Amino acid sequence: MDVAIISDSHIPSRAQRIPDPFRERVETADHVVHAGDFDSKGALADVRDLAPELTAVSGNMDPRVGLPAVETVELGGVEFVVTHGTGPKRGYKQRVADAVRDNASTDDAVGVAGHTHEVLDTTHDGVRLLNPGSVTGAAPASRTTMLTATVSGGTLDVTLHER
Residue 7 has pLDDT above 90, yes or no: yes
Q: What percent of the chain has pLDDT over 90?
A: 98
Do the strands 127-132 and 119-124 form a parallel or antiparallel pair, or are they unpaired? Answer: antiparallel
pLDDT value at 161 more than 90: yes
Query: What pLDDT band is residue 66 in, cutting at 50, 70 and 90?
Result: very high
* Span 91-119, average pLDDT: 97
pTM: 0.97
Residue ranges of domains in the chain, CATH in brackets: 2-162 (3.60.21.10)
Residues 28-36 have a mean pLDDT of 98
Res 63: pLDDT = 78
CA 29 to CA 31: how far, in whole Å?
5
With left for phi above 0 and alpha for psi between -120 and 50, is residue 10 left, alpha or beta?
Answer: left
Residue 61 pLDDT level (bands cut at 50, 70, 90): very high
Q: Is the pLDDT of residue 153 over 90?
A: yes
Q: What is the mean pLDDT of residues 140-163?
A: 96
Per-residue pLDDT of 115-148, as tens digits, reads 999 999 999 999 999 999 999 999 999 999 999 9
Give Cβ neighbours of residue 134 (< 8 Å, ≥ 6 apart): 7, 8, 9, 10, 114, 117, 141, 144, 145
**Whole-number CA gyration radius for the chain:** 14
Specify whether the CB–CB gap between 22 and 43 falls below 8 A: no
Across the chain, mean pLDDT equals: 97
pLDDT for 64 beyond 90: no
Confidence band of 106 (pLDDT split at 50, 70, 90):
very high
